[in-house]
Amino acid sequence: MLAIDDKDFGTPASKSSKSVSLEIDGKPVSIPEGTSVMRAAAMAGVAIPKLCATDSMAAFGSCRLCLIEVEGRNGFPASCTTPVEAGIKVHTKSEKLDKLRRGVMELYMSDHPRDESACKADGNCELHRMARAVGLEQVRYNHGARTHLDLPVDDSNPYFAFDPTRCILCSRCVRACDDIQGTFALTIDGRGFNSLMSPGQHQHYLDSECVSCGACVQACPTDALMEKTILEKGPGTRAIVTTCGYCGVGCSFKAEVRGDEVVRMVPNKNGMPNHGHSCVKGRFAWGYATHPDRVRAPMIRERIEDPWREVSWDEAIAFAARRLKEVQAKYGRGSLGGITSSRCTNEEAYLVQKLVRAAFGNNNVDTCARVCHSPTGYGLKTAFGTPAGTNDFDSILETDVIFVIGANPTEGHPVFASILKRRVREGARLIVADPRQIELVQLPHVAADYFLQLTPGTNVALFNAMAHAIVTEGLANEAFIKERCDAREYTRWRDFIIEERNSPEAAEKVTGVPADNIRGAARLYAKGPNSAIFYGLGVTEHSQGSTAVLAMANLAMVTGNVGRAGVGVNPLRGQNNVQGSNDVGSFPHELTGYRHVSDPKLRAEFEAEWHVTLDAEPGLRIPNMFDAALDGSFKGLYCEGEDIAQSDPNSHHVAAALAAMEIVIVQDIFMNETAKYAHVFLPGSSFLEKNGTFTNAERRISMVRKVLQPLAGKEDWEVTCMLSNALGYPMNYRHPSEIMDEIARLTPTFTGVSYQKLDRIGSAQWPCNDAAPEGTKVMHVGEFVRGKGRILPTEYIPTEERTTFRYPLILTTGRILTQYNVGTQTRRTRNVAWHPEDTLEMHPHDAEQRGLRDGDWVEVTSRAGSIFLRAQLTERVQPGVVYTTFHHPETGANVVTTENSDWATNCPEYKVTAVEVMPTSRRPERIVREALNPKP
């Protein structure tokens, strides 16, 4: 059976450091003050029957099953709501208690299906377990009485069903939705006998506010709320702890397996980033792993016009190696390159960059972080010395002012959003800066104190104006600056920032945000006392992405908000392993741990380990690879887990570059746009089919464990090894743990990382080494990693992507909860029930000027191309700004994005594209497919 210990202690742990001693059933117990008697008993190995209590939520005290006796006191208090007291003597068992509990259970069972064998929880039903625990043998009531046993099942949700006949009205689901998820979608409706648990106002689940996080299903003690996979296939017989393969929150899950099938993913209550919570993607949308579209055999073809031919692994690898060698012999060492992916494990990304550096003999390796968070790496490394988030997610529980900019956590990072919302409900203040009114601005029980609805592309002006207000109003933390930052640089920056052109009044003209609001937000942030910044691609994917990261770092340093819990500058990473793929050397100028390849001493260490001579010159970045391909000097690409033809900007340009190459090797789990230009397709393995590690946005390295055998027979790291061996550079790892051992040997921030340790402690945040054997939650404590923090001038330079008479609107992009990136995975799951198409959000004022109505098809034209979408009129966007998601390939959002990019890192300026939107009557799908697939 499932062997992972996730004992439920009934109520949450107390945070008190003061201890209280008492006696429970004659056992002496010492426990933190504020702990419930129920939890104290559970900690002492005494199980008190319970139904409405669970340790992920505050006690509610409704079922009255957990009654106890306290010596010298009258009555039978509920142990879940009774806190421990010094010196009391508690009895949890007595004849009287047994009788009372049996009476309670008898009432519950009188309105519940009697036949335990029909219970779909199949042995996991707390109700039946409690009935047995209290010795209830028969039910005397309900002969002909009214019951709820004829109520219909609500199976509208694609993933779980609600059977009200099994509901005992314990409210656990309602509280889970309120307290854990923060959506407030459920209620106990009606009174007395007519009480019913209900989504919204007597709605079906699918029509309600529910976001399908699964917390209510997890909390339900009966089979009233059950996963459909369990109803259809039965419960798992074994469980394996692994890490979600979707976003950078990196939630930990128990994959429950029956036979050779996953039947359920249950959020791991001992998992650090998520503490037992989940979102619809990680919890439910894993069916793509066994979708019929999965490619199960290697394929090759001489020319991209030829049909694919299925071949053995050996033939495919030999073909790929031969073509790579031929290209290199003809065009030189620098004519090949590789692209690693943030979808893959650390070990896989490490091997791809090693293959490029050691087997190709150049540094032409890059990663998809190029197009998302490369400015984070540049900015945070420059300012603080480490290209990574400063704090752990839990640190937000000590934050007083939360500043969210360019991120939409409820859609993009839902589990983190739940923690954030909880913190706001507890009293933290909230500043949101975004061109679009994201959900966090106004939700039940959550409202932003300041919503700074800025014009896309003006983040730097906003940050500068906030810094101006802070400095000129005397709110800078001079003591912190003096102690922790470079004094000369600060003085220079101070002179720059107090200039009038950086004032909120000047910024109002650029950003569109009223100066008073900028000043108010700046004061709130500066006064904290604990203020933390959380940001996403709305900051990085700009021509000034790196400048904006530096400007945020300035705000944090100038106000002293770095180096302790509750503060910091924290990127919310889009993909599961953005942080990790960067850490392990995927950039063309850096070896593992962000160390420059030009350093001869460093190269010597790698050369000794790898037994090759390494090139000292940084290699090509992804956009440079495309340019070189069109110039004729870059002719071969190994691309693992990344659909560059779809995800990189200016799709026409990318397609032409790929078509110009002589050998393109794509390794992926599904056929994709890039594969249309490939000569070799190597079937990849999903996160369920391999061992390895992912590193989430808080630098947390977590185990990915093999749950299923790879559908095509190989884990991705094995395929890279085969290719390397065929090229003549030996790679002979027996297990990914050996790859991690090599990373640890070569990387000072990883020296303490090993699979054995991760198995033992669950996960570790780097730096993890002798100085921090179990990892580092908060960075830059006492001193910045680079020594003194750098406060650098951040001149606002408007993007060259200007609106004009011809392109008068700004297009910006974002995500939606139920879909993921270009939808390769989520569109192959039951998530298709939501978000059937991408739409173009447009302000009614702009629509009216163009004669558009809600739902009309429109043509969106930029300087780069045109796409077709259905218009959705909404005041979430401001006039002059239009917005779309990019989850469906038909949308082809990158057909319109330009080649503008961040000055420091080449991160594309996805978030600002000048466009015109006009009505169209043309059929959009065919046109976009043609645009994406020009004749090679």
Interface contacts to ligand SF4, rule CB under 6 A: 167-173, 176-177, 181, 183, 185-186, 197, 199, 210-216, 219-220, 222, 224-225, 244, 246-247, 249-251, 274, 278-279, 281-282, 413-415
User: Which one, 243 or 905, has the nearer CB to ligand SF4?
Assistant: 243
User: Which one, 62 or 546, has the nearer CB to ligand FES?
Assistant: 62
Judged by CB under 6 A, the stretch of 61-69, 442-450, 620-628, 629-637 that binds ligand FES is: 61-69
63 binds, among ligand SF4, ligand FES, none (CB under 5 to 8 A by kind): ligand FES
User: What's the full length of the chain, in residues?
Assistant: 936
User: Which one, 37 or 461, has the nearer CB to ligand FES?
Assistant: 37
Residues 691, 46: Cα–Cα separation, whole Å: 38
Specify the residue for token string 């945020």: 552
The nearest distance, CB 870 to ligand SF4, in angstroms, is 26
Rule CB under 6 A: choose which of 41, 42, 52, 895 binds ligand FES: 52
Number of residues that bind ligand FES (CB under 6 A): 12
The nearest distance, CB 224 to ligand FES, in angstroms, is 16
Q: Alpha helix (H) ranges present in 74-176?
A: 95-110, 126-133, 172-175
Beta strands in 368-441, from DSSP E residues, in sequence order: 401-405, 429-433
Residues 703, 552: Cα–Cα separation, whole Å: 32
904 binds, among ligand FES, ligand SF4, none (CB under 5 to 8 A by kind): none
The nearest distance, CB 61 to ligand FES, in angstroms, is 4
214 binds, among ligand FES, ligand SF4, none (CB under 5 to 8 A by kind): ligand SF4
Sheet of 27-32, strand order: 27-32, 19-24, 89-91, 69-70
DSSP state of 588: T
211 binds, among ligand SF4, ligand FES, none (CB under 5 to 8 A by kind): ligand SF4
Residue 73-112 contact track with ligand FES, rule CB under 6 A, x = bound: -----x-x--------------------------------
The nearest distance, CB 277 to ligand SF4, in angstroms, is 8
User: Which one, 52 or 262, has the nearer CB to ligand FES?
Assistant: 52
Q: Which residues of 229-258 are buried (b: 16+ CB within 10 A; e: fewer)?
A: bbbeeebbeebbbbbbbbbbbbbbbbbbbb
524 binds, among ligand SF4, ligand FES, none (CB under 5 to 8 A by kind): none
Residue nearest to ligand SF4 (CB): 282
Roughly what angle, to the nearest 10 degrees, separates helices 504-511 and 459-472? Answer: 170
The nearest distance, CB 376 to ligand SF4, in angstroms, is 18
Judged by CB under 6 A, the stretch of 62-70, 222-230, 480-488, 858-866 that binds ligand FES is: 62-70
Residues 371, 366: Cα–Cα separation, whole Å: 10
Residues 672, 824: Cα–Cα separation, whole Å: 8
The nearest distance, CB 278 to ligand SF4, in angstroms, is 5
The nearest distance, CB 202 to ligand SF4, in angstroms, is 14
The nearest distance, CB 131 to ligand FES, in angstroms, is 14
Q: Which residues pair with residue 261 across a beta bridge?
A: 258
Rule CB under 6 A: choose which of 65, 438, 871, 912 binds ligand FES: 65
Residue 409 contacts residue 416 (beta carbons within 8 Å) = yes
Residue 915 contacts residue 850 (beta carbons within 8 Å) = no
CB atoms within 10 A of CB 633: 13
The nearest distance, CB 725 to ligand FES, in angstroms, is 60
657 binds, among ligand SF4, ligand FES, none (CB under 5 to 8 A by kind): none
User: Which one, 156 or 769, has the nearer CB to ligand SF4?
Assistant: 156
Per-residue 3-state assignment (H helix, E strand, C coil) for 306-341: CCCEECCHHHHHHHHHHHHHHHHHHHCHHHEEEEEC
Furthest-apart CA atoms within the chain: distance in Å: 93
The nearest distance, CB 248 to ligand SF4, in angstroms, is 7
User: Which one, 69 or 392, has the nearer CB to ligand SF4?
Assistant: 392
Instruction: List phi, psi (to 5°) of 246.
Output: -95, -90
Q: Alpha helix (H) ranges present in 151-304?
A: 172-175, 215-219, 228-233, 280-284
61 interacts with ligand FES by CB under 6 A: yes
The nearest distance, CB 540 to ligand FES, in angstroms, is 47
Q: Which residues pair with residue 403 across a beta bridge?
A: 431, 533
The bridge status of strand 700-704 relative to strand 692-695 is antiparallel
Residue 745 contacts residue 584 (beta carbons within 8 Å) = no
User: Which one, 82 or 765, has the nearer CB to ligand FES?
Assistant: 82
Binding residues for ligand FES, rule: CB under 6 A, are: 50-53, 61-66, 78, 80
